[in-house]
Structure formats: C-alpha cells, structure tokens
Amino acid sequence: RFQACVYFASVFQAMSCGIHYLSSVFMAVTPNFVCGFPGNVTSVLFHNSSASSIEDIWTLWTSTENYIVVLLENGEIWELDQCSRSKREVSLDLAYEYKGNKSVFPCSDGFLYDDTKWKSTVVTQWDLVCDREWLAKLIQPTFMLGVLIGALIFGDIADRLGRQRVIWFTSAGQFVFGIAVAFTFDYYSFVIVRFLLAMVSSGYLVVAFVYVTEFVGIKARTWASMHVHAFFAMGIMVVALVGFLVRTWWVYQIFLSIATLPFVLCCWMLPETPFWLLSEERYEDAQKVIDTMARWNKVSTPCKVSELCSVQQDDLASGRTGDDDMASTKKHNILDLFCNWQIARRTITVWLIWFTGSLGYYVFSLSSVSLGGNEYLNLFLIGAVELPCYIIACVAMDKLGRRNTLIPFLILSALICVLIMFIPQDFNILIILANMAGKFSIGVAFGLIYLYTAELYPTIVRSLAVGSGSMMCRVGSVVAPFCVYLRSVWIFMPLVATVYFFQLLVGIMALLSGILTIMLPETLGKPLTNTLVEATEMGRNKKSCSEKTPPAHSGAALEKIEMFGQERVSTEK
C-alpha cells in the first residue's frame, strides 16, 4: 500500500510534463490573417462574394495566396494580402480583378486575424507572422532545449541533494512557471519563462523515474517504469480537451497549469528514498522510512538497515582483490562505449534507436493537428493510443524478450510511415488511423529502449550508456519541431506532402534501426554484466565469459543489491 500510494502520487504529476511538452500545438496556432487597413470599411469583396465585414469572409478563405478587396468610407479601395497591402490608384468601382496601377505598402496598421476558432494565441498577441514568423517557429524548439538542459541539471542535483527536494522544487516550479507564462508581457519574456518551465518539467520527469524505481519492488519495476509514460500520454489528452474548451491562450495556459495543483499541495508529504539515504550514510533516516513502509504494509518481520549494510560491506570486502579493485575504481568516459567493434556497433545502434524513437514520437504528436479533420480529436487519440501501447510492450518484453519485441515494432513503424505516403489526402480518417498506428508502434520501441539499454551494458559504464542514449533522445526532441515546421520554408511543397516527407524520414530511420537491432543480443533472463569483456561476450554461443573474467563483485547479497541499485542508477541517468 505504501509503494502504491507513493507511486500514483508521483506519476500523477507526470501528467503535467505531458501537458507542458505539447501545449504549444494550440497555444502557438497561426490563424488566417491579412494586413490591416487605415480607416473604416464599408464593403468587403472576396472573389464573387461580398460582405459588410471581414469576419464574414473567413469561412470562404481557402489559401494563403488569396487576397481581400475592401472599400473604405473615404472611397479608397485596398487589396489586402497576408504580408502586404496595395492601394488602387483608380477607384471607380469595386471589383475583385484590377489591372490598373497600385501602390504597395507594408502592414503598418497591424493585422486582422480569423478568430472563429481561437480568440487569441501568442501569434495574434504579438503579431508573430510574416517577417516575425520564425519567432513563432522557435517556441517549441527552445522549449525542448530547456528539456535537454533540465534533464542534465536536475539529474545531477537529485544525486547531490536527494530526490525528495528536487521533486518538491520541480513540481512547485511547474505550477509557478506555468501560471507565470500566462502573464508574460512580451514574446521574449514568454520564451524565457517557458524555457524555465521546460527545465523543471524535464527535471521532474527524470527524477520521478528514479523515485518510483527506487520504491517499487523488482517484480513490478518494468510495469511501473513503463507506465510513467502512460501518465505522460494522459497529459497529452488533457491538452486536447482543454484546447477544445478554452480558446484564449492565456486562459488555456492557466487551466493547464492548475490541472495538477492537488499534487503541489501534498508533494511535501512524500518521503526520501531509502536508497539515497543509504548512499549518503544517513542510516537513521533510512530506518525511519523503512519502518513507515513496514507499518503501512503491515509487515511483521523487522528490516534492519544495519544488517543489510554489514552484509554488503562484508561481501564487497571478500569480492575485491588487487586488479578488480583498480578496475572498479577506474574512471570511465564516453570512449569506453567504443572500446571494441562489438561494443561500438552496439552503441551506434542504441543511439540510433533513442534518436529515432524520440524523433518519431514528437513528429507524430506535433503533426497530428495538421492531418485534417478535428485537430483536437486527433491529438486526443494520439495520446490515448499510448495507453494500450505500454501494456503490450510490458507483456511482450517479459514473454518474447527485449530484442524480439523491439525489432517488429520498429519495422512496423517504418512500414506504416511508408503506407501513409500512399493514402489519398481526401481519406482523412484513414490517415489519422495510420498516424495513430505509427505512434503506437514507435511508442513501444521508445518505451522499451530505456530498460534494454541498461541491460546491454556492464555495470562500469551502464550509467554512461543510458545517459548518452538519453542525450540522443533529447536531440531528437529538439529536431522534431523543426521537421514539422520546415513546411513553412519549403513553400513549393504542400502542407500534407511535407508532413508525409518527414514521416517517411522517420520510417527510413526506424527501418534501419530495426535491421541493426537484429545484431543486438537478447537480455531477457540474463544477469547484468559487470565488465566490458562480459558485455562483449553477451549473446555469443558460449556458456559464460565469467569463466575467463571474474565478476567485479561476488556474493549473493551484493548481486541482489546490484540488481536493485545499479538499475536505479541507470534509470536515473
């Protein structure tokens, strides 16, 4: 009961990470717009349709190449484009086509926006269009850059100050910075506050993985760690729901930020993990937490920290000799992940899977609102499809193995990306279903690679391997928004064709990753390796490399501690 309460309280806040990661898909929407005009309008003309106001014309707007003709009270006739306006020199009659002379002027009177869907967005708030459009396209990439930096900073702080304090700070920071975003006074303050919001959101997600892993037992660890992603997906569903109900960006941001307020009010009750307390030699505090767990769970058999520590120290003392002690204390760096051809090939494959999984995850998510149909429903389904995804991943990992689960889902995601290219653009429902299937398959691979990486590398470089893989993951999340937004640069490609192009790119990378994964060893049911020699020999048809190279540490007690503790470290990184 104790672990269940701690787990669900912690992962509930993970929803806020999903909320803030994808909130910009509606907050930074660019609606239809044209140049403003100097004066009061009396008549508006769009092709063969006329109206008394521009608001009545927006329903007829079909392309950014269109323009609107307006007749002002002073008799002037203006042609309004998106980024310029032209004044007709001869104003005899109001007609859409005009062959005479025109004077072109910049949009010095601002812009007129279509507010039928969104009353206000950050784009309309600060006129992030035309020559300022690139500022709008930087909103999501700068957020993802904050995610990258936050993961590095708070992961290290959690090792130094403890998980509990970081969870307190980052959860409170998500609420404070989330509310502050709604009250920013210009674009630059908006980006800076969202950057800070990204850092604390990423920091919470990283530390939450470590926190729940250290509290949950070995039998449930795979399911518990995988389903942190499920709560992240629920956050994406909340974004779609709130976006549908609230159409003013700052109100929308406030509602998203208060969604997880209950956790902020009670997160101070969460205890520090016994693992971290033991690593800091705070044995009395660790004993208090363990005693509290025993009372909640009605465990009658006492668990004494002093006995566990004495067993660990005795086993370490008996297992360490000469060269082994030197090897275990040796400092390792990134080059150790390329120490030989077997390990180097494994590292390149793992990095590619991390990058492809993250790139595909965010390309499918961010582009879902551009596939046609109801954009709110599209995003909601993209989040909902992840929930069964992680259940299937957990079952398959335990029954089929890590590699045998990863390969088919990577190849399946590649085939789906290619299939999307051949679906006619008019078949919106089929396109959305295929997009959901692609998100499902890439989600399985993305969720699985966390644990698989930790099992592929030995103890001495396990944290380094998972940390470097996570870096490639963050790089993919930074690149993904540029892939989606590049359609505004490649103006010769239609919107849907550009989205398809990058999904095809994801498909090619997923196919390559799936083929390379065939050469990776299976780790299901195998003990964690301790040395690079053991890791190199993994997967070969040999009994065990331990006959040649003794493990770094021996003893039954240490083996249990290592399985519990080292997986904690790898997840943490």
Instruction: List domains and CATH numbers for the chain.
Output: 1-30+118-270 (1.20.1250.20), 33-116 (no CATH), 337-537 (1.20.1250.20)
pLDDT at residue 140 in the model: 86
CA distances in angstroms from 569 to 47, 459, 485, 562, listed in the order given: 65, 10, 36, 10
| CA-based torsion, 443, 444, 445, 449: positive or negative | positive
pLDDT at residue 241 in the model: 93
Per-residue pLDDT in tens (0 to 9) along the chain, 573 residues: 888 888 888 888 888 888 999 898 888 888 888 888 887 778 888 877 777 777 777 777 776 667 888 888 887 888 888 888 888 887 667 777 777 788 888 888 888 898 888 889 999 999 998 888 889 888 988 998 898 888 778 877 877 788 888 888 999 999 999 999 999 989 999 999 999 999 999 888 878 877 887 788 767 777 877 788 888 889 999 999 999 999 899 999 999 998 878 888 877 888 888 878 887 778 888 888 888 888 888 887 767 777 666 655 555 445 444 444 444 445 666 788 888 888 888 889 989 998 988 888 888 887 777 776 788 888 898 889 888 888 888 888 888 888 889 999 999 988 888 887 777 777 778 888 888 888 888 888 888 887 788 788 876 776 677 777 777 888 888 887 776 665 554 444 444 455 556 667 778 888 898 899 888 888 887 776 777 788 888 756 444 333 333 343 333 333 343 333 444 333 433
CA separation for the pair 430, 525 (Å, rounded): 40
CA separation for the pair 373, 293 (Å, rounded): 50
Amino acid (one-letter) located at 440: F
The token duo for 169 is 């700070």
pLDDT at residue 431 in the model: 81
CA separation for the pair 339, 346 (Å, rounded): 11
Estimate to the nearest angstrom the gap between the alpha carbon of 447 and the chain centroid.
Answer: 11
Strand partners, 104: 86
pLDDT at residue 174 in the model: 92
pLDDT at residue 187 in the model: 93
> How many residues belong to the chain?
573
The token duo for 247 is 């159409």
pLDDT at residue 125 in the model: 92
| 3-class secondary-structure state, position 378 | helix
